[in-house]
Structure 1
């Protein structure tokens, strides 16, 4: 482990509640970087007592068969809406056996608020929700409900993933890291998302520091700094810049000076900025491969918006209207 890796390990991975944000355009290596950080949290377990292990929650966006890649790192628990399902098929190796992977179990939930009661410390908890939401009108209320429930549980010290001995936690929340690829879709800057989808972003903005103090961290990525809600992006202490990252001088004057450098980064290269505004040189993120090379996933079903029954309005004829007007005039 070189000096900057050791610094990141000590100041970020081993420090609960530190939010981290990746910035880069499509193809810059954001998902690979997320795999690398997940791997770092798993490796940290070799140096920590079990009570300080971080429960990992990965928001599945249904792209690149990322679930398959995660299953190469640790056991996976899929959290799936009850009306939907996921079918996973691994390819065979040269010996005719399934590609090696850890166990994958499925847990079904009815309400998104239930998700936080179903976490397990010893698994990578993969929330499979976004992929089943096809109708734009469902995105905002579903994600808002999800994060509102998280905030309430964290503030009430009611986050209780399986695997902990709660007498060791001494009344505190266990450490939880939530991996959110493309956070700009959940907390977009004004004009960058669907109409009316600011609710979840507002909840996160209002409670980002509260989550941090309750041992819950966000490890997120965004297609661009300006595509993310301003109040959210200011909550991240650790910034990782990949190809295409671009910062305004008014908010990040030191990073702004390196915008041209970020534009020229190769895919898989990154520069880490620590809270002290010290920077690493260009670093190369290890390649974890593509999930599509391991197998394929089918997402079955989707969530339907609730259709409220229309109230039938009785039509008023012309004669009824004239009669009503005459009654008013006579009074």
Structure 2
């Protein structure tokens, strides 16, 4: 097959599916709103079901709903008729997906759902189909034609179904006031979860690990404190334990450049005042941005009374897998 033919086939597919998705926007209407209301009123779980390619898309929709604040899982309609229907309770709601609206395995479930009084939201491409007619509300996922040149393989229709599912999930997310922290709790294992959940307090150095000297400490003595603690810096605090400044390896280079006498200089003379600080409850990802923006590798962690309570180094964030 010629190169230009494969490229054109790929581009044509994208054009057709893009047009199908664009047409979907006009169907976000009162039926869509009613579907959202039914789901928000549901006291149980949202059960998504569908056969074949609709089933594959249904699994993704269920996963998206579950991760955005709407408890949900997928039930295969064929298995439901052989025992898995016991997974569905009277408190649940069912989203049934069928482009034709006449999938036999899905239709078999309808009398049982009606008997249990379970609300039914359908996604079909035919408003006069048995599934659409039996549903409490039908979401129109019709397409003019599939991207498949034979108009047979589900392509445009599955894309539109997926987008409709995403539209539902996002609308429900916003209606519930779902936050980034809520999202992180359902994604604790990955880098995203660590970015949204890990706080400075979880990874900072504290207690005896914190380098600390007084303002009248000689520079030579402060260098020993920096070396023993291994962070390339030290904090300077007053008699009340409040942070006055910091002294870093960079400050040492500045002192040497200015030919300041190393043996007699005190911290009060050479320290950097008003350093960048964070609280222990700051997200580690946010602390990392502060470091990057200010081109520094460590941050002092202080409490509301301006007492240093910890030290966060960029290496700590990297080890924690935040990035």
Q: What TM-score does the superposition give when structure 1 sets the normalisation length?
A: 0.26
Q: What TM-score does the superposition give when structure 2 sets the normalisation length?
A: 0.26
Structure 1 or 2: larger helix share? 2
Relative contact order, higher structure (CA 8 A, sep 6+): 1
Q: Which protein is bigger by CA-based radius of gyration? A: 2
